[in-house]
Amino acid sequence: MDDPVEVIERCAELCRRRERTDLVMRLEAATGRWQSSDVRVLVVGEFKQGKSQLVNALVGAPVCPVHDDIATSVPLTVSYAEQPTAAVLWAAPGAITEEEPRREVVDVAMLAARISLPGQDRVIEDKDGSRLVAAEAGLPRQLLRDGLTLVDTPGLGGPGSAHSAATRAVLPSAHAVLVVTDASQELTGPEVEVIRQALAACPHVALVLTKTDLHGQWRRVQQLNAARLRDAGLKLSQLAVSSQLRLLAARSKDADLNAESGFPELVGFLRRSVVTRREELARRSVRHDLNAVLAALSSSLDSEHRVLSSPEHLPAVVAELALARTRAEELKKRSAKWQQTLNDGVADLNADLDHDLRERIRVVQAEAERIIDEGDPGHAWSEFVAWLEESTASALADTFTWAEQNAEWLLTRVAEHFEEASAETLPQLRLADTTSLGDRIRPMGDLDLNETTLGGKVIIGMKGSYGGVLMFGILTSLAGLALINPISIGAGILLGARAFREDKENRLARRQAEARTLVRKQLDEVVFQSSKVLRDRLRHTQRQVRDHYAATAEDLLRSIGESVASAQGAAKADEKQRITRLAAIATDRTTVIRLRREVDTLGAPTAAAQAAS
């Protein structure tokens, strides 16, 4: 079955006939989850490696900016739409909250120009000071119809890039990551580190070698990359493509040229390893919902059928349902074991996450203070701030990813205690997403360089030399020399130079002390804001899980109550009513059996998966 919506609707129709509005609402929620599920694929890489052209070639449209002198300045999300659409998102000046950005609809043809500027690490601002934070595009492309969403990210630009932190922070929110590097040289150290971080944050990562049409030795580079990854202990797929050949093949409708471009393998990877697996997870969740609904209907129908067929079975049926009701009520109670596991687990996780966050930030602070102590922070303050932002973002991404992994483990433990429910239908966790943290944290303050003007330097030297000239002039005057003589002048020069050096050292010490203070304040702000976000997300997750299982227990109680009412109503029916009800129940039971058979096919491999295999 390619689309489960039809069987969901037929199951909902049966629930309406049985007057089970609660089950209808559950099926509507299952339909919404199926239709809204998408796959987020991040395209990351260093500056000018061909990321934007790769996305353009995949979707067959020039939505991403491509030029020798300009670069994508914000993440651009490309998803499916019936008609071409585009928008840019603006954050208010000085915003430090998670408020929704202002959305401005723009012409698709003008989108690339709106989100690009010459050079790297450029920030685009509006007239009122709002800064551009993201862009969106919707295209009617078959590749995107199944929920595939491509995100073109700004170039990493090396460890000093301000965009690097933002790109690395968004890695945990992706279902798959394409790390892009061109065929001009083998992988660099920073690129290997990006791959390592991507593999730690995301289950599906592929290395895409671009610009094979420009570099004849790309196969040699691919071999060197494979060796480099093998030495680093990293395992991932490698794909070589030419975006220019792909675009040329699309214009000329040349299938052979398209095959030569390498894009069929890339599209196959996305569908086989990402989209198909997303469908499998979504189908599993839908199948769980349908089976639960059909089980509730079947229980009610069986109870009513047993009583209608043999009224003397009513006491036994009611006794069985009473035991089931008691167990459902125990599950619903706050003292139930799953509630204790959830509450204790969240409390422990909060404490562990706070310690983990502070420990990682302490490491960053120690390294920052070491750098400050070893040199003059005033000479490269902007580079130091960029490094600190990236190191902090990397530490935060590690903590938030660890939080999501532990939360998933906790939910598995809770689900083991609650047999009637399943973790598959829980809302998807978003604990690892750190994209909004940057807007909550105030920018780091500027360092006062405390530079001395030329006139000030002269005065400092004169103050130091004055004492030397006077002191040694008096001493030498006892020998009959004048107050100002070569010896006193030389002593004045030496003491003046010493005074200048001491003043320079004092100013350096003051700059280092101020720099350490700024770093500590900034990292305290990071810990304060990040801890608040982590606690809020964990509380939200706890409420979602609690409400999910409480609602499941409530559904179970209602199903048992409906079964009891059906059994008791059946016992009161006369002969004619029993015959009529038995015929209707037989029809409904046949429908349930047929629906269960169709639901079982949801677990079978999809057509895309069979084709991929």
User: In whole angstroms, how far apart are CA 30 and each of 290, 541, 560, 598?
Assistant: 9, 19, 22, 16
CATH topology of domain 38-261: Rossmann fold (3.40.50)
Bridge partners, 367 (sequence order): none
The residue among 279 and 472 whose pLDDT is bigger is: 279
**pLDDT digit string (tens) for 219-272?**
999 999 999 999 888 888 899 999 999 989 888 888 889 899 999 999 888 888
pTM: 0.61
Pull the structure tokens for residue 518: 């700024």
Residue position matching structure tokens 């004045």: 492
**pLDDT digit string (tens) for 15-68?**
888 777 777 887 887 787 777 667 888 898 887 788 888 998 998 888 887 765
Bridge partners, 149 (sequence order): 40
Report how far Cα 565 is from the mean position of its chain's Cα atoms: 48
Q: How confident is the model at residue 365 (pLDDT cuts 50, 70, 90)?
A: very high
Domain-wise residue ranges, the chain: 1-36+283-309+573-613, 38-261, 310-444+503-572
The whole-number average pLDDT for the span 356-375 is: 90
**pLDDT digit string (tens) for 106-159?**
888 888 887 776 544 456 777 777 777 788 999 998 888 878 889 888 777 544
Whether 428 has a pLDDT exceeding 90, the answer reads: no
The residue among 610 and 463 whose pLDDT is bigger is: 463
**pLDDT digit string (tens) for 79-99?**
888 899 999 888 776 554 445
Cβ-contact 447, 381 below 8 angstroms: yes
Q: What pLDDT is stored for residue 543 in this prediction?
A: 83
Rounded to a whole number of angstroms, the CA Rg of the chain reads: 34
Cβ-contact 40, 151 below 8 angstroms: yes
Residue position matching structure tokens 């109503």: 569
User: In whole angstroms, how far apart are CA 57 and each of 155, 265, 491?
Assistant: 18, 13, 75
Annotate 481-516 with DSSP letters as a single string: --SS-HHHHHHHHHHHHHHHHHHHHHHHHHHHHHHH
**pLDDT digit string (tens) for 497-539?**
776 677 677 777 888 888 888 889 888 988 888 888 888 888 8
Distance CA 588, CA 578 (A): 15
Distance CA 76, CA 151 (A): 5
E strand residue ranges, 551-594? none
Bridge partners, 378 (sequence order): none
- Written as one letter, the residue type at 434 is T
E strand residue ranges, 108-193? 116-118, 131-139, 148-152, 176-182
295: exposed, middle or buried (Cβ count in 10 Å: 0-12, 13-18, 19+):
middle
Bridge partners, 134 (sequence order): 89
Compute the C-alpha angle 535/541/547, nearest 5°: 135
Q: What pLDDT is stored for residue 85 in this prediction?
A: 92
Distance CA 50, CA 557 (A): 57
Distance CA 9, CA 293 (A): 12
Cβ-contact 368, 388 below 8 angstroms: yes
Percent of the chain with pLDDT over 90: 8
Q: How confident is the model at residue 208 (pLDDT cuts 50, 70, 90)?
A: very high
